[in-house]
Structure 1
């Protein structure tokens, strides 16, 4: 169901001056220029007259552009500007697929060509976020995961990185850093103590922080309205799905399917794709699943109660494996095989001390102080990344001993003034505030008290350690102040029938996209999906790549469907200490290469999601 514009199928077929079979490799020709000009002018006249079918607006179906600036035109950049082994550039797309008068947008792309033939088509890649740049994903690592007989096309979704219009609510990266520095937006929400979640003082403390949070969000929205205007309207996931449809026709022809690989928020994009355009979906893999029903029908302050369903299980596993490793490998432990409850109690005592006495951090690249909210939020982020658990234990142990530098730089970035890239602005809000439902009335606008009620519900019912800590890593909220609404908003249904089942991958201990979300999509699409369950921790299966999962995903793109519910075991030394990494021990050369590519790809995905 579409909210706002509600396009039925098919779309309005509009000829362009290059109206022939679509191709991204050669300039098309379509007869005499005078005839093409006449056809183009006639089509434009129809559109400007407000053409309707059955009383509903139809999205445009546009062919590839012949000239620079035309919709469909691809501008390839010099090789020196691209990552090694890739072609890169940009493609002109309609800014608004329902309104040609809105003009055009430019989507940044990077393509890694198939090396095995016959080529099967193009797989579009999204790292998540939302806000992650996809152009860096088009390389040999992902070819190893997906298959050498596919072209891989990474792209920057609307507003992100090199795609334009670029999300830029602040005049500079420095201005953004100054705006969030030492506020609740950066330091997160501090919970006075998780040992007494019924204490009235806890609620009052959270209300005061929530008021600050809402004031800052309101200021952000005002800056976006001033500096971006109507360009904010076109960053929603439904618009990005239409970009995928448009680009797939450019690169693989009118009948080419949309093939897709995405993790984290990329699972939202994939779920939207297969349900908005089931007839267009081809091979689709989503990993680290966010619940699309919750995403599209609940305001963002109600998302964490869904996201944190597996967090406590992950945290306990983190503490247990630390204790098993002992203090030499994990300095949070006092001795080998210490009861995890003792470690947990020491960490909580540290967080409680920070409530009343934040830790000065004078010697970081950007000096400051560490709050309880920040430290707890950073620990939640570390739970997503098992490859960094040893680093996290060292950073947390040093902070508990009085030196918060190592932990604090994870909050502020090692570079005190980061470059002006997507992560220094509000790209995430540009997506989530168009996807989440706007308040139906003034009574539905969440107050500070409403935010706190949701925090307490999550703390008491789902995750007592991290129920108010999501905002450090997932900076959502304040969409009630967002100045625009998009041309369409998809809210389901989520039970599409596909020609080829979608592949879902979920971890049993994913602390931010729980396995329940993957099982939900699988249940909603029982005949059009298969789920692989990776039994282990981390955000997305690539957090700890396994040969089992990697080969099943690669096999899927080769045309082999795994049995629904196939489980892959995880084997990894989370706290290796001074010992060499033995996770490749006993593997043959090909398996070592495949697992090495999967690990490198996973590290890149985590880097891009964080920005």
Structure 2
């Protein structure tokens, strides 16, 4: 029974427990609270495609406490440059908040090294609150407590009582996290993480400027850093852009602007490639879209019982399918597998359904405990005392997307009632002139960070340029484009921005089952610059890991 209970919550939320611990130590004085240099050493990182080095850096626990000498250690991981002369380090954040980024850099390090030209060290640091070692943010002392809390989540349109239920559960979470985290929970906000990045830049001992590539929530972090430290920005890429205005106001409606367009692409790609999409049958794109939406509605009243060998049974119901659908819109490379699962579910063939669910249960969550809530909700500037106050946001999300607008209603409800404010919350605007212009990348069809958000952010960053990546999925890593790859390389190597209005084509078929980066590697190998190959099977698994929805959007 315990094993089944755990399996159910893994399927529903894909989360893992992180034990509560404190990693705060005392430094010698306020002005010497951080190291001046990072000592790198070789280390083993599971699944790494290229050699990785590890290091650590002591930084202030509380940047607002001038007289405090408390510090914490940040863990850092580096993929060294292979070309010379060195052009410095590039810091990365792959999203979240709540993802450490370690596995992302290790698994995708070969591609990122090629895309950036090979002249830079590629560096990931584990942000505050995201793991056991760097000020973990955990609200529960046992996995059972966490499981009970998480099983209560429901999609907003799953029933006429779902909104009230989600609101009440959000209050329980806020109360629980306040009790568990009221001493250190205020130290994990994005502004402090931005300051940590600048401490890392100083400790690297290069030119004192930030080179950075952020994805998803990482664009929010990057935009915040640019607004706080505009004179210290070198080459900065924001890729898969979060609207920072809506983020800090807990009013995220724009994020679902293009979700239904991505879903329409899933359906049209399916019927255009029936050999890879059994769901196609005799459908047109429009009829398939309607059939899937009707089936979701059917599940409200007719959930499907699925027996999983060695684990017992579970239910596939409306909420789960809505969340899985949004999950899979992140990466076209995993669309064939999801289509096979969905076809089995709709036709009553449980074989593919069981295989798919079993595969999901084998995947670890990229996110630590309640890191999402601790970071994101601590950042939010506006609280809402009643359900009625937050309903306009929730209803706006529902109107924005018929396929997934209600999949994560609990996220704004969590933040509306949150009781721990980050020690420093960014309150300024995002209209700044950075030392060097920022490159902003937005996909034409992104399920959670629409092109409109990229243009919104670029409008405030003087001199920045928007590169439109004409593909599907979340960020430019979802589908490869040689045009985008060359633009990124030119920017990091030479500081050259693409012309305003540039649109980069994507040549990977939607149901190819790969992201197409093998072809990008081959292209640069022909020029003598690539360093590794990886087969398409491995690449598909990578997309599932790297582009899995960070809980910033999904809460799963």
Q: Distance in 2 between matches of 1:236 and 1:384?
A: 26
Q: Distance in 2 between matches of 1:597 and 1:142?
A: 13
Q: 1:334 aligns with which of 265, 275, 281?
A: 281
Deviation at 1:501, TM superposition (A): 0.6
Q: Pairwise mapping of residues 514-593 of structure 1 onto structure 2 (< 5 A)?
A: 514-527=450-463, 529-559=464-494, 560-576=496-512, 584=519, 588=523, 590=525
Q: 1:367 aligns with which of 313, 327, 331?
A: 313
Report the counterpart of residue 32 of structure 1 in structure 2: none
1:262 paired to 2:214: yes
- Give yes or no for contact 1:373–1:469 (8 Å, CA) kept in 2: yes
1:88 paired to 2:27: no
Q: 1:108 aligns with which of 59, 75, 84?
A: 75
- Give yes or no for contact 2:92–2:214 (8 Å, CA) kept in 1: yes
Q: Distance in 2 between matches of 1:516 and 1:602?
A: 24
Q: Distance in 2 between matches of 1:562 and 1:533?
A: 10
1:349 paired to 2:316: no
- TM (norm. structure 2) is 0.83
Q: Deviations over 1:353-380 (max 9, x none)?
A: 2111211122164632111122122112
Q: 2:164 aligns with which of 208, 211, 217?
A: 211
- Name the CA shift for 1:352/1:81 in 2 (closer, same or farther; >3 Å): closer
Q: Which secondary structure does the structure 2 equivalent of 1:89 belong to?
A: strand
- Name the CA shift for 1:436/1:580 in 2 (closer, same or farther; >3 Å): closer
Deviation at 1:450, TM superposition (A): 4.5
Deviation at 1:334, TM superposition (A): 2.0
Deviation at 1:126, TM superposition (A): 0.6
- Name the CA shift for 1:539/1:588 in 2 (closer, same or farther; >3 Å): closer
Q: Which secondary structure does the structure 2 equivalent of 1:423 belong to?
A: coil
Deviation at 1:118, TM superposition (A): 2.1
Q: 1:512 aligns with which of 424, 445, 448?
A: 448
Q: Deviations over 1:332-352 (max 9, x none)?
A: 2222xx422211222122112
Q: Distance in 1 between matches of 2:216 and 2:404?
A: 19
Report the counterpart of residue 383 of structure 1 in structure 2: 329
- Name the CA shift for 1:93/1:224 in 2 (closer, same or farther; >3 Å): same
1:309 paired to 2:276: no
Q: Distance in 1 between matches of 2:334 and 2:81?
A: 33
- Name the CA shift for 1:409/1:366 in 2 (closer, same or farther; >3 Å): farther
Q: Distance in 2 between matches of 1:511 and 1:267?
A: 16
1:445 paired to 2:385: yes
Q: Distance in 2 between matches of 1:405 and 1:491?
A: 52
Q: Which secondary structure does the structure 1 equivalent of 2:77 belong to?
A: strand
Q: Distance in 2 between matches of 1:329 and 1:119?
A: 44
- Give yes or no for contact 2:273–2:511 (8 Å, CA) kept in 1: yes
- Name the CA shift for 1:89/1:162 in 2 (closer, same or farther; >3 Å): farther
Structure index of larger Rg = 1
Q: Which secondary structure does the structure 1 equivalent of 2:86 belong to?
A: coil
Deviation at 1:124, TM superposition (A): 0.7
> Which deviates more, 339-348 or 240-249?
339-348
Q: Distance in 1 between matches of 2:213 and 2:336?
A: 29
Q: Distance in 2 between matches of 1:580 and 1:390?
A: 12
How much is the aligned-residue C-alpha RMSD, in angstroms? 3.3
Deviation at 1:446, TM superposition (A): 3.6
Q: 1:605 aligns with which of 523, 546, 549?
A: 546
Aligned length: 512
Q: 1:287 aligns with which of 239, 246, 256?
A: 239
Q: Which secondary structure does the structure 2 equivalent of 1:105 belong to?
A: strand
- Name the CA shift for 1:88/1:407 in 2 (closer, same or farther; >3 Å): farther
1:457 paired to 2:409: no
Deviation at 1:116, TM superposition (A): 2.0
- Give yes or no for contact 1:121–1:256 (8 Å, CA) kept in 2: no
Q: Distance in 2 between matches of 1:120 and 1:588?
A: 23
- Give yes or no for contact 1:571–1:583 (8 Å, CA) kept in 2: no
Report the counterpart of residue 3 of structure 2 in structure 1: none
Deviation at 1:410, TM superposition (A): 7.0
- Give yes or no for contact 1:121–1:252 (8 Å, CA) kept in 2: no
Q: Distance in 2 between matches of 1:483 and 1:580?
A: 41
- Name the CA shift for 1:585/1:243 in 2 (closer, same or farther; >3 Å): closer
- Give yes or no for contact 1:77–1:88 (8 Å, CA) kept in 2: yes
Q: Which secondary structure does the structure 1 equivalent of 2:82 belong to?
A: coil
Q: Distance in 2 between matches of 1:488 and 1:585?
A: 41
Deviation at 1:547, TM superposition (A): 1.2
- Give yes or no for contact 1:107–1:157 (8 Å, CA) kept in 2: yes
Q: Which secondary structure does the structure 2 equivalent of 1:351 belong to?
A: helix
Report the counterpart of residue 122 of structure 1 in structure 2: 89
Deviation at 1:490, TM superposition (A): 0.7
Report the counterpart of residue 63 of structure 2 in structure 1: 97
Q: Deviations over 1:119-156 (max 9, x none)?
A: 12111111101111123316333211212221111111
Q: Deviations over 1:43-90 (max 9, x none)?
A: x5xx6xxxxxxxxxxxxx64754xxxxxx5757666346856221132
> Which deviates more, 314-323 or 285-294?
314-323
Report the counterpart of residue 429 of structure 1 in structure 2: 373
Report the counterpart of residue 186 of structure 2 in structure 1: 233
- TM (norm. structure 1) is 0.76
Deviation at 1:582, TM superposition (A): 12
- Name the CA shift for 1:190/1:363 in 2 (closer, same or farther; >3 Å): farther
Q: Which secondary structure does the structure 1 equivalent of 2:230 belong to?
A: coil
Report the counterpart of residue 79 of structure 1 in structure 2: 43
1:318 paired to 2:285: no
Deviation at 1:526, TM superposition (A): 4.0
Deviation at 1:589, TM superposition (A): 6.5
Q: Distance in 2 between matches of 1:608 and 1:342?
A: 27
- Give yes or no for contact 1:377–1:469 (8 Å, CA) kept in 2: yes
Deviation at 1:244, TM superposition (A): 0.4
Report the counterpart of residue 34 of structure 1 in structure 2: none
